[in-house]
A and B are shown apart, each in its own frame.
Chain A
């Protein structure tokens, strides 16, 4: 059975060009970039090139790029660096819809005496900016906000926020893991101090991330070890993945310049419009204006997400759900709850996330298969019958 992969916010296919770029460094060129001989030194030169490619993607200079193992490490490093460089400040400001990668770190820090303020969002997933600015004060060590939400794709106004936060002399970090490679990012126009990204969200392999740290920002390493990454992140480089990430960044930049994401958003809109039209009691979660071009979170009322996903799985269609049952927790996604999405809809929310590899034929197939799946599950649902009864 062919796989129709609409779960690209979870992870992406490694681009063939990326695999090709990596392969020699997994076989013949196995030297250590730190070595004195040219066998290793040549690898070092290739890493330098990758650093430049990543820097180009976000408008940074290469010295501002630190390679890490993943988005989670980048986020954790950024937050810890900020609080360690500001030992007198005990407040951390973030939002209620951040990724679990960072949410759980805050729980840990609260236990250590930090006060974490979670800025709310409205029912379309938009950040309450007044609330954000009002809670900033002399005690705020860092503001960390995601650039774009992984579940709904809603984009926060990072440029405006960054300006306001930095005007108050506070460090601003953004988790751009979902944004990088999908929308243009420029660290100079936005003025962020630190930014996290993760390779496997834009067609590089898993296990490689980046933390951008603006020149002049106080920094202390999380992983203390050798001199690698200018002493900002110890440990022998993940050479092949760094080279793969460089290639993926180059490809992403190229695609952004050619505006190929316009095709992705066209397909996304086609899917969304068709499903909303063909399935009654369905709606989009989050605002549709400022949204990643590849993401659509659709709530199908009165059915449960895990059951939907498993039926989609029968057709090889891959997506994600905001329902409780898929995660092993008993409550639906914290993002949808923070937005006040009613339970009737939150449990049956499905996230479709496309990539530049998604084809029109695949979208047509999903449009054909989804409505009967929802119908079938609604046939089983006692609430649907009751609702139908009320309508008659």
Chain B
């Protein structure tokens, strides 16, 4: 059982400011059902530009609900400039601390607040900034960089606790380590490069891997993968059988197919689906 502070328990059992603001001045939505937690945050400004009201809706565990509730309480009465300065650490501190594994809930609160402010300022929904490092939870290098700096993180496990990156298949662990090392100024020897394959060899190897390793596995779910083309390290595939209609097929593609091909063919492989 998690050791939650009394304040976390209180905000979970008696959440403040639950709901929707229909004529909100800013709305921020983060997370997803697949990730296991999600938050929609609303605020309304008064005539002086201060946050007069804030509300939230959250799907998630106790600490996700408590962090959201705390956020709405913390921002009330603040100008947007002041609200912007709230960090995930402030949120966790307000709650008397969160278990390490639950720090990502505070980061989610901070992200929702930022999104809502951007929304109000009319800033276009930012394209995903940076490059996705963790495919499982859709976390970019910029997000990881920021959380490492702001919270003085030093291990992959820390990063997983704060932004979930690295908590799924684990394929991105090397990249996360690189980011941490970059910030901490440590240098690890480069990973061994895979032996160069000719294009023909590579295509053959990919075909074999799909037929021998991947398709027998997808077959269990009556799915099938068809190789369409290979362009450098981009492998274009078509999902057939049950996979074609399965909502989880993007996950299968990234989680399973890509990591399998990276393991069997080359670590640089990127798999893309074509219709």
With both chains docked as a complex, state the minimum distance between the C-beta of B59 and any C-beta of chain A, in angstroms: 4
Please report the C-alpha to C-alpha distance between residue A326 and residue B59 in the assembled complex, in whole angstroms: 15
B59 contact from A120, A303, A310, A331, Cβ within 8 A: A303
With both chains docked as a complex, state the minimum distance between the C-beta of B234 and any C-beta of chain A, in angstroms: 27
| Binding-face segment, B35-43, B80-88, B265-273 | B35-43
Please report the C-alpha to C-alpha distance between residue A108 and residue B57 in the assembled complex, in whole angstroms: 42
Residues in chain B near residue A344, CB distance under 8 A: 33
Residues in chain B near residue A270, CB distance under 8 A: none
Give 1 or 0 for each of A313-336: 1 = CB within 8 Å of chain B CB: 010000000011110111110000
Are A379 and B61 closer than 8 Å at their CB atoms? Answer: no
| Binding-face segment, A80-88, A175-183, A230-238, A381-389 | A381-389
Please report the C-alpha to C-alpha distance between residue A2 and residue B236 in the assembled complex, in whole angstroms: 59
B38 contact from A330, A379, A383, Cβ within 8 A: A383
Residues in chain B near residue A305, CB distance under 8 A: 61
Chain B residue with the shortest CB-CB distance to A338: B220
Which residues of chain A from 86 to 140 have any CB-CB distance to chain B below 8 Å in the complex?
120, 128, 131
B20 at interface by CB-CB < 8 Å: yes
A21 at interface by CB-CB < 8 Å: no
With both chains docked as a complex, state the minimum distance between the C-beta of B235 and any C-beta of chain A, in angstroms: 25
Which residues of chain B from 9 to 60 have any CB-CB distance to chain A below 8 Å in the complex?
9, 12-13, 15, 18, 20, 29, 33-40, 57-60
Residues in chain B near residue A382, CB distance under 8 A: 29, 38-40, 57-59
Are A302 and B59 closer than 8 Å at their CB atoms? Answer: yes
> How many contacting A-B pairs (Cβ < 8 A)?
83
B220 contact from A120, A323, A324, Cβ within 8 A: A120
Are B59 and A381 closer than 8 Å at their CB atoms? Answer: yes
Are A314 and B13 closer than 8 Å at their CB atoms? Answer: yes
A325 contact from B9, B57, B60, B160, Cβ within 8 A: B60
Please report the C-alpha to C-alpha distance between residue A385 and residue B102 in the assembled complex, in whole angstroms: 25
A385 contact from B20, B34, B221, B248, Cβ within 8 A: B20
With both chains docked as a complex, state the minimum distance between the C-beta of A317 and any C-beta of chain B, in angstroms: 14
Residues in chain B near residue A380, CB distance under 8 A: 15, 18, 57-59, 65
Chain B residue with the shortest CB-CB distance to A331: B168
Please report the C-alpha to C-alpha distance between residue A302 and residue B36 in the assembled complex, in whole angstroms: 10
A-B contact pairs, 17 of them (CB 8 A): A303-B59, A306-B62, A307-B60, A310-B62, A311-B13, A323-B36, A323-B61, A325-B61, A326-B61, A330-B164, A342-B247, A343-B33, A380-B57, A381-B59, A382-B29, A382-B40, A383-B59
The 3 A-B residue pairs whose C-beta atoms are closest, nearest first, are: A330-B167, A325-B61, A306-B61
